[in-house]
Amino acid sequence: MNIRTALTASACLCAVSLLYAQDYPVKSIRMVVPFPAGGGSDTVARVLAQRLSVSLGQTMVADNRAGASGNIAAEIVAKAPADGYTLLFGNSSLSISPAVYTKLSFDPVRDLVPVSMVSSYPFVLVAHPSLPVKNVRDLIAMAKARPGVLTFSTAGAGTMSHFAMELFQLLTQTKLTHLPYKGAAPAGIAVMSGEAHVSFLVMPVAQAQIRVNRLRGLGVAAKTRAPVIPQVPTMEEAGVQGHIALQWNGLFAPAATPRAIIDKLHRETVAALANGEVKQRLADEGAEAVGSSPAEFAAFFRSEAAKWGDVARRSGTKLD
Protein backbone atom coordinates (compact mmCIF):
# COMPACT_ATOMS: atom_id res chain seq x y z
CA MET A 1 0.00 0.00 0.00
CA ASN A 2 1.51 3.35 -1.04
CA ILE A 3 1.28 6.54 1.00
CA ARG A 4 -1.56 8.02 -1.05
CA THR A 5 -3.66 4.87 -0.68
CA ALA A 6 -2.95 4.72 3.05
CA LEU A 7 -3.98 8.34 3.52
CA THR A 8 -7.16 7.79 1.52
CA ALA A 9 -8.05 4.74 3.61
CA SER A 10 -7.38 6.67 6.80
CA ALA A 11 -9.57 9.56 5.66
CA CYS A 12 -12.37 7.13 4.83
CA LEU A 13 -12.16 5.53 8.25
CA CYS A 14 -12.30 8.95 9.91
CA ALA A 15 -15.33 9.89 7.85
CA VAL A 16 -17.10 6.65 8.78
CA SER A 17 -16.24 7.21 12.45
CA LEU A 18 -17.62 10.75 12.38
CA LEU A 19 -20.79 9.63 10.61
CA TYR A 20 -21.26 6.82 13.14
CA ALA A 21 -20.78 9.23 16.04
CA GLN A 22 -23.35 11.65 14.61
CA ASP A 23 -26.01 8.93 14.90
CA TYR A 24 -24.71 7.62 18.23
CA PRO A 25 -26.45 6.54 20.35
CA VAL A 26 -29.33 4.71 18.68
CA LYS A 27 -30.06 2.35 21.58
CA SER A 28 -29.63 2.13 25.33
CA ILE A 29 -26.14 2.30 26.88
CA ARG A 30 -24.91 0.00 29.61
CA MET A 31 -22.79 1.61 32.33
CA VAL A 32 -21.07 -1.16 34.29
CA VAL A 33 -20.56 -0.13 37.93
CA PRO A 34 -17.95 -2.12 39.90
CA PHE A 35 -19.47 -1.74 43.35
CA PRO A 36 -22.73 -2.66 45.10
CA ALA A 37 -25.85 -0.53 44.79
CA GLY A 38 -26.42 2.06 47.48
CA GLY A 39 -22.88 3.28 48.19
CA GLY A 40 -21.50 6.76 47.57
CA SER A 41 -19.84 5.93 44.24
CA ASP A 42 -22.96 4.08 43.05
CA THR A 43 -25.00 7.19 43.83
CA VAL A 44 -22.64 9.34 41.75
CA ALA A 45 -22.82 6.81 38.88
CA ARG A 46 -26.61 6.89 38.88
CA VAL A 47 -26.77 10.69 39.03
CA LEU A 48 -24.52 10.84 35.95
CA ALA A 49 -26.43 8.07 34.15
CA GLN A 50 -29.73 9.87 34.67
CA ARG A 51 -28.36 13.12 33.29
CA LEU A 52 -26.69 11.47 30.29
CA SER A 53 -29.90 9.59 29.50
CA VAL A 54 -31.56 12.96 28.98
CA SER A 55 -28.77 14.62 27.01
CA LEU A 56 -27.99 11.62 24.78
CA GLY A 57 -31.64 10.77 24.16
CA GLN A 58 -31.17 7.12 25.08
CA THR A 59 -31.43 5.34 28.42
CA MET A 60 -28.15 4.75 30.23
CA VAL A 61 -28.57 1.78 32.53
CA ALA A 62 -26.35 1.34 35.60
CA ASP A 63 -25.40 -2.34 35.88
CA ASN A 64 -23.79 -3.20 39.25
CA ARG A 65 -21.11 -5.90 38.91
CA ALA A 66 -19.23 -5.84 42.20
CA GLY A 67 -16.34 -8.10 43.16
CA ALA A 68 -12.60 -8.70 42.82
CA SER A 69 -11.75 -5.05 43.59
CA GLY A 70 -13.62 -3.90 40.49
CA ASN A 71 -11.88 -6.32 38.12
CA ILE A 72 -15.08 -8.18 37.20
CA ALA A 73 -16.71 -5.01 35.91
CA ALA A 74 -13.54 -3.75 34.24
CA GLU A 75 -12.99 -7.03 32.41
CA ILE A 76 -16.58 -6.97 31.09
CA VAL A 77 -15.98 -3.56 29.54
CA ALA A 78 -12.42 -4.26 28.36
CA LYS A 79 -13.70 -7.24 26.35
CA ALA A 80 -16.95 -5.63 25.16
CA PRO A 81 -17.52 -4.42 21.57
CA ALA A 82 -15.89 -1.03 21.10
CA ASP A 83 -19.07 0.67 19.93
CA GLY A 84 -19.85 3.02 22.81
CA TYR A 85 -22.70 0.93 24.20
CA THR A 86 -20.79 -0.64 27.09
CA LEU A 87 -19.00 1.78 29.41
CA LEU A 88 -17.25 1.47 32.76
CA PHE A 89 -17.81 3.74 35.73
CA GLY A 90 -14.35 2.95 37.09
CA ASN A 91 -12.72 4.07 40.29
CA SER A 92 -9.36 4.28 42.04
CA SER A 93 -9.00 0.51 42.51
CA LEU A 94 -8.48 0.21 38.75
CA SER A 95 -5.06 1.85 39.17
CA ILE A 96 -4.05 -0.74 41.79
CA SER A 97 -5.15 -3.99 40.15
CA PRO A 98 -2.25 -4.46 37.68
CA ALA A 99 0.25 -4.32 40.55
CA VAL A 100 -1.45 -6.80 42.85
CA TYR A 101 -3.16 -9.22 40.43
CA THR A 102 -0.54 -10.89 38.22
CA LYS A 103 -3.09 -13.07 36.43
CA LEU A 104 -5.44 -10.39 35.10
CA SER A 105 -6.86 -11.28 31.70
CA PHE A 106 -6.84 -7.61 30.70
CA ASP A 107 -4.64 -4.53 31.11
CA PRO A 108 -6.59 -1.45 32.29
CA VAL A 109 -4.13 0.97 30.69
CA ARG A 110 -4.03 -0.89 27.37
CA ASP A 111 -7.61 -2.17 27.08
CA LEU A 112 -9.59 0.80 28.36
CA VAL A 113 -9.67 4.39 27.15
CA PRO A 114 -10.46 7.20 29.64
CA VAL A 115 -13.38 9.46 28.73
CA SER A 116 -13.47 11.84 31.69
CA MET A 117 -12.88 11.88 35.40
CA VAL A 118 -16.28 12.40 36.97
CA SER A 119 -15.70 13.04 40.64
CA SER A 120 -13.09 12.93 43.35
CA TYR A 121 -13.11 12.91 47.10
CA PRO A 122 -10.51 12.05 49.72
CA PHE A 123 -10.34 9.21 52.19
CA VAL A 124 -10.62 10.07 55.86
CA LEU A 125 -8.75 8.26 58.61
CA VAL A 126 -11.27 7.55 61.35
CA ALA A 127 -11.20 5.77 64.70
CA HIS A 128 -13.83 4.29 66.96
CA PRO A 129 -14.50 6.84 69.74
CA SER A 130 -13.49 4.34 72.43
CA LEU A 131 -9.95 4.11 71.05
CA PRO A 132 -7.79 6.33 73.28
CA VAL A 133 -6.29 8.42 70.49
CA LYS A 134 -7.12 12.05 69.83
CA ASN A 135 -5.03 12.56 66.71
CA VAL A 136 -2.82 10.83 64.14
CA ARG A 137 0.31 11.15 66.29
CA ASP A 138 -1.45 9.30 69.12
CA LEU A 139 -2.43 6.54 66.69
CA ILE A 140 1.12 6.19 65.38
CA ALA A 141 2.48 5.97 68.92
CA MET A 142 -0.05 3.29 69.87
CA ALA A 143 0.56 1.31 66.69
CA LYS A 144 4.32 1.35 67.26
CA ALA A 145 3.89 0.30 70.89
CA ARG A 146 1.56 -2.55 69.91
CA PRO A 147 2.60 -3.83 66.44
CA GLY A 148 -0.15 -5.82 64.73
CA VAL A 149 -2.63 -5.39 67.59
CA LEU A 150 -4.63 -2.52 66.13
CA THR A 151 -6.98 -3.51 63.31
CA PHE A 152 -8.23 -1.60 60.27
CA SER A 153 -11.30 -2.31 58.15
CA THR A 154 -11.39 -1.84 54.37
CA ALA A 155 -13.81 -2.20 51.47
CA GLY A 156 -11.79 -5.25 50.40
CA ALA A 157 -8.27 -6.39 49.63
CA GLY A 158 -6.79 -4.39 46.77
CA THR A 159 -9.20 -1.48 47.08
CA MET A 160 -8.09 2.09 47.61
CA SER A 161 -9.21 2.01 51.26
CA HIS A 162 -6.78 -0.89 51.73
CA PHE A 163 -3.95 0.89 49.96
CA ALA A 164 -4.54 4.15 51.80
CA MET A 165 -3.61 2.22 54.93
CA GLU A 166 -0.69 0.45 53.23
CA LEU A 167 0.68 3.87 52.34
CA PHE A 168 0.10 5.06 55.92
CA GLN A 169 2.01 2.07 57.31
CA LEU A 170 4.92 2.64 54.92
CA LEU A 171 5.17 6.35 55.74
CA THR A 172 4.86 5.89 59.51
CA GLN A 173 6.70 2.55 59.83
CA THR A 174 3.78 0.98 61.68
CA LYS A 175 2.01 -2.37 61.43
CA LEU A 176 -1.74 -2.85 61.76
CA THR A 177 -3.87 -5.93 61.01
CA HIS A 178 -6.11 -5.88 57.94
CA LEU A 179 -9.82 -6.78 58.20
CA PRO A 180 -11.22 -6.79 54.64
CA TYR A 181 -14.97 -6.46 54.07
CA LYS A 182 -17.18 -6.54 50.99
CA GLY A 183 -17.68 -2.85 50.34
CA ALA A 184 -17.35 0.55 51.97
CA ALA A 185 -20.62 0.27 53.91
CA PRO A 186 -19.68 -2.85 55.90
CA ALA A 187 -16.16 -1.49 56.42
CA GLY A 188 -17.72 1.61 57.95
CA ILE A 189 -20.07 -0.44 60.11
CA ALA A 190 -17.10 -2.47 61.37
CA VAL A 191 -15.27 0.57 62.73
CA MET A 192 -18.48 2.19 64.03
CA SER A 193 -19.33 -0.97 65.97
CA GLY A 194 -15.81 -1.31 67.35
CA GLU A 195 -15.13 -4.51 65.43
CA ALA A 196 -12.19 -2.65 63.87
CA HIS A 197 -10.17 0.07 65.54
CA VAL A 198 -9.58 2.38 62.58
CA SER A 199 -10.29 2.72 58.88
CA PHE A 200 -9.78 4.94 55.87
CA LEU A 201 -13.36 5.62 54.80
CA VAL A 202 -14.57 7.56 51.78
CA MET A 203 -15.79 11.05 52.55
CA PRO A 204 -19.52 10.35 51.98
CA VAL A 205 -19.44 7.58 54.60
CA ALA A 206 -17.07 9.26 57.05
CA GLN A 207 -18.35 12.82 57.23
CA ALA A 208 -21.90 11.97 58.36
CA GLN A 209 -20.66 9.75 61.19
CA ILE A 210 -18.01 12.24 62.31
CA ARG A 211 -20.66 14.94 62.59
CA VAL A 212 -22.74 12.85 65.03
CA ASN A 213 -19.65 11.65 66.94
CA ARG A 214 -20.06 8.00 65.99
CA LEU A 215 -16.52 8.17 64.59
CA ARG A 216 -13.52 10.32 65.42
CA GLY A 217 -11.98 12.01 62.39
CA LEU A 218 -8.19 11.95 62.53
CA GLY A 219 -7.02 13.05 59.10
CA VAL A 220 -8.18 13.85 55.57
CA ALA A 221 -5.97 12.31 52.87
CA ALA A 222 -5.93 15.37 50.62
CA LYS A 223 -3.91 18.55 50.13
CA THR A 224 -6.62 20.70 51.67
CA ARG A 225 -9.20 20.26 54.39
CA ALA A 226 -12.70 19.14 53.43
CA PRO A 227 -15.42 21.82 53.64
CA VAL A 228 -17.90 19.30 55.05
CA ILE A 229 -15.62 18.50 58.04
CA PRO A 230 -13.31 21.53 58.30
CA GLN A 231 -12.29 20.65 61.87
CA VAL A 232 -10.40 17.53 60.70
CA PRO A 233 -6.80 18.28 59.62
CA THR A 234 -5.21 16.89 56.50
CA MET A 235 -2.90 13.91 56.93
CA GLU A 236 0.04 16.17 56.13
CA GLU A 237 -1.05 18.70 58.75
CA ALA A 238 -1.32 15.77 61.16
CA GLY A 239 2.32 14.88 60.49
CA VAL A 240 2.24 12.27 57.71
CA GLN A 241 3.89 13.96 54.74
CA GLY A 242 2.98 12.63 51.30
CA HIS A 243 -0.18 10.85 52.37
CA ILE A 244 -2.69 11.62 49.61
CA ALA A 245 -5.36 9.02 48.84
CA LEU A 246 -8.31 9.96 46.65
CA GLN A 247 -11.35 7.97 45.69
CA TRP A 248 -11.87 9.11 42.13
CA ASN A 249 -14.51 7.92 39.71
CA GLY A 250 -14.38 8.17 35.96
CA LEU A 251 -15.91 7.01 32.73
CA PHE A 252 -14.02 4.53 30.52
CA ALA A 253 -14.76 2.79 27.22
CA PRO A 254 -13.16 -0.18 25.43
CA ALA A 255 -9.83 0.89 23.93
CA ALA A 256 -10.81 0.65 20.25
CA THR A 257 -13.91 2.85 20.62
CA PRO A 258 -13.97 5.44 17.78
CA ARG A 259 -12.50 8.75 18.82
CA ALA A 260 -15.56 10.65 17.69
CA ILE A 261 -17.70 8.67 20.15
CA ILE A 262 -15.20 9.25 22.96
CA ASP A 263 -15.30 12.97 22.21
CA LYS A 264 -19.10 13.01 22.21
CA LEU A 265 -19.29 11.14 25.51
CA HIS A 266 -16.73 13.52 26.96
CA ARG A 267 -18.64 16.63 25.88
CA GLU A 268 -21.90 15.31 27.32
CA THR A 269 -20.24 14.20 30.57
CA VAL A 270 -18.61 17.60 31.12
CA ALA A 271 -21.93 19.31 30.39
CA ALA A 272 -23.70 17.01 32.85
CA LEU A 273 -21.14 17.74 35.58
CA ALA A 274 -21.57 21.49 35.01
CA ASN A 275 -25.29 21.21 35.72
CA GLY A 276 -26.16 22.88 39.01
CA GLU A 277 -28.38 20.07 40.25
CA VAL A 278 -25.76 17.44 39.46
CA LYS A 279 -23.00 19.44 41.16
CA GLN A 280 -25.17 19.81 44.25
CA ARG A 281 -26.01 16.09 44.34
CA LEU A 282 -22.30 15.28 44.22
CA ALA A 283 -21.49 17.91 46.83
CA ASP A 284 -24.10 16.36 49.11
CA GLU A 285 -22.10 13.14 48.85
CA GLY A 286 -18.90 14.98 49.77
CA ALA A 287 -17.65 14.68 46.20
CA GLU A 288 -16.27 17.29 43.81
CA ALA A 289 -17.40 17.24 40.20
CA VAL A 290 -14.36 17.18 37.90
CA GLY A 291 -14.91 16.80 34.14
CA SER A 292 -11.38 16.41 32.76
CA SER A 293 -10.41 15.88 29.14
CA PRO A 294 -9.62 12.34 27.93
CA ALA A 295 -5.92 13.27 27.70
CA GLU A 296 -5.87 14.77 31.21
CA PHE A 297 -7.66 11.77 32.66
CA ALA A 298 -5.32 9.35 30.85
CA ALA A 299 -2.25 11.12 32.25
CA PHE A 300 -3.71 11.12 35.75
CA PHE A 301 -4.63 7.44 35.47
CA ARG A 302 -1.08 6.53 34.44
CA SER A 303 0.35 8.53 37.35
CA GLU A 304 -2.00 6.83 39.82
CA ALA A 305 -1.05 3.38 38.46
CA ALA A 306 2.64 4.21 38.93
CA LYS A 307 2.11 5.58 42.46
CA TRP A 308 0.05 2.68 43.79
CA GLY A 309 2.14 0.13 41.93
CA ASP A 310 5.10 1.40 43.91
CA VAL A 311 3.13 1.06 47.17
CA ALA A 312 2.21 -2.51 46.20
CA ARG A 313 5.86 -3.40 45.59
CA ARG A 314 7.14 -1.75 48.76
CA SER A 315 4.44 -3.33 50.91
CA GLY A 316 4.75 -6.72 49.21
CA THR A 317 1.01 -6.87 48.55
CA LYS A 318 -0.07 -9.62 46.13
CA LEU A 319 -3.60 -10.98 45.83
CA ASP A 320 -3.34 -13.87 43.32
132: enclosing H helix or E strand: none
Q: Read off the pLDDT of residues 169-225 as tens digits, 9 standing for 90 and up.
A: 999 999 999 999 988 888 999 999 999 999 999 888 899 899 999 999 999 999 999
Q: What is the dihedral of CA 152, 158, 164, 165, to 10 degrees?
A: 30
Q: Which domains does the chain have, with CATH numbers?
A: 3-120+247-315 (3.40.190.150), 122-220 (3.40.190.10)
DSSP designation for 234: B
Q: Compute CA distances 297 → 119, 128, 263, whole Å.
A: 11, 36, 13
On whether the pTM is more than 0.75, the answer is yes
DSSP designation for 92: G
Q: CB under 8 Å to 117, separation ≥6 — which residues?
A: 248, 249, 250, 290, 291, 292, 296, 297, 300
Taking alpha carbons only, the member of 156, 163, 153, 185 closest to residue 68 is 156
Tell which wins on pLDDT, 13 or 216: 216
Tell which wins on pLDDT, 226 or 266: 266
Q: Read off the pLDDT of residues 98-154 as tens digits, 9 standing for 90 and up.
A: 999 988 999 999 999 999 999 998 999 999 999 999 999 999 999 999 999 999 999
